[in-house]
Chains A and B, each alone.
Chain A
Amino acid sequence: MTRLILRRLALLVPTLLGLSVLLFLWVRALPGGPATALLGERATPEAVARVNELYGFDKPLIQQYVTWLGQLLQGNFGVSTRTGRPVLEEFTNRFPATIELTVVALIVAVGVAIPLGYVAARRQGRPLDHLTVVASLVGVTIPVFFLAFLLKWAFAVNLGWFPSTGRQDPTMIATHPTGFYVLDGILTREWDASWDALMHLVLPAIALGSIPLAIIARITRSSVIEVQDADYVRTARAKGLGPDRLRRRVILRNAMLPVATTIGLQVGLLLSGAVLTETVFAFPGIGSFLANAIFNLDYAVLQGFILIIAVVYALVNLVVDVSYGFIDPRTRATR
């Protein structure tokens, strides 16, 4: 097991190195440049040249890359051309918000999808099953930003059940020791702050979780359908196993392997979906910041953020791979 983890971590090094090259070239292939974005269309060539010189954009590409990589290895991700603050600081300020949103979205998705998929499978061919299949198809097809707008319009603007933007009521005075607002409220016993933060998360989390929910529900359904006809399920019933244990230990446990794989892959979808959702709900996470960085061609932010997101994504999938061993003993690497 340890060996598997070490090997995967070692493999991460060339992967990230390759990604860093691609990223570096990709942001520079975008039309325009950071200086123009910063100074506007009508900036004088001298001003542009000064900005370029300031940030080192006048140097040859190779030299820029090597400098950037060298700084990166020392933990220096550079400075945002838009805000003037270090990229890492911008990231750590905003990442808790995105984690909070992603985790809640994932909880919503997994919490609804697995029971839904299971129930649909057990009632295969009956109305509830058909409804689930159709609903999950709709869930996959609806664009995230459209659903986000729809939810915001219906439940925030018209009905007023949930706040429409932000992470917390701006008039609320709350302390934030960790940056995870829901958690902060619990830690400081400011329950109303915690509740308010949670209410702010509901609509974005549903919007963000909809596609993963639909996908996970479908995978769960087909996996359970396959497993429930397995010989060992019949044998488990024949030995007199109660319905509860049959469901949890035999059917669900065996059906979880493809589901775990899917959940791991959804994390990537969630992080990219966060860009759109956070923008719609003006949610101050890395997604909306990244969207702004794209408009402003903020090279350092684009490179740094995407690289860190890639690391997070790889680590999450490593965790998923390790979890296979817990779900399925046959895949354990070492014995």
Chain B
Amino acid sequence: MTPAIRCAGLTKIYEGKPPIEAVRGLDLEVRAGECFGLLGPNGAGKTTTVEILEGILAPTGGEVEILGLSWDRDERELRERIGVSLQETKFPDKLSVEEIVTMFSSFHRKGRPPIEVIDEVGLREKRTAWELKLSGGQRQRLAVACALVGDPDLLFLDEPTTGLDPQSRRSLWEVIRRLRSRGRTIVLTTHYMDEAEKLCDRVAVIDHGKVIALGTPSGLISSLQGEHVVEFAFNGGTGSLPGADGADAEPSIEAGGGPWPPAVAGAIGEPEVAADLLDLPSVISGRNEGGFIHLTVHEPHVAIPALLERLESKGRTLSALATRHASLEDVFVALTGRHLRDE
């Protein structure tokens, strides 16, 4: 089966002083019928990549094939077969939902009935309302409706939920899930990890214009070799635990290897992480952040008793303890040492 998207060695350099390398050799293959997530922090090159795939931007180098066609030769046909929701499109504010969707449907040879699409994104009650009167979430659903109205084989949604409140995000997720269940190919960019985990069959993690990890959300999480995270803080005593050395060393996440990242500067009495916690049973890696120590572990029920024993032997008491499943956020931190939402 022809992949929905295939691109190889994609590069994009924005001219300027200095030139900006937004995409630096990106390879991707999106299968027909899957919901594919492009994940990465702001400025990672997600939007540039998507706009190249959508045929809006010309790449500086590399090959792009969409639905087995090329933008150079088959633009008109491709435009009929893809649907696009861009980041931050402001539709005309004094046209109604129905007028806007009808206008977009008129651009297609075989558009779907506007009202059917409006129903599908749950805007039936708002169909006569001016764009001006819509909430942020309704605006995003309007954008999705305009993308759907040509009955596309391939749908691009660029940051569809950015800036929305939790309820609006969930209602948009429902819309996307329904589309996926109808076998449409969807490419979704997001910097929300939970969104990618919940919606996407596969994700590509993008950083500095390259794919740094690719796989199913669960596959990526299990590649951490520890699917649980234990977070804790302690008090009592001063200074570091015995064995803390190499305070200037580079951050590292590998167990049994290098030194710990240095303690986060700032608050007094903030706990420092000691390398010797890594030798606890079932602990894979750890980091020290925001006053908490985060340990990635295989089995919390093995690691936690051992941790408590170690702290007690050093004369420290726990002030907080929590466990959770590892997320794509942890994958990103593990790969880059940064958080997704760091600017």
Q: Do the two shown chains form a genuine complex with each other? A: no
Interface residue ranges, B against A (CB under 8 Å):
none
A interface residue numbers (CB < 8 A to B): none
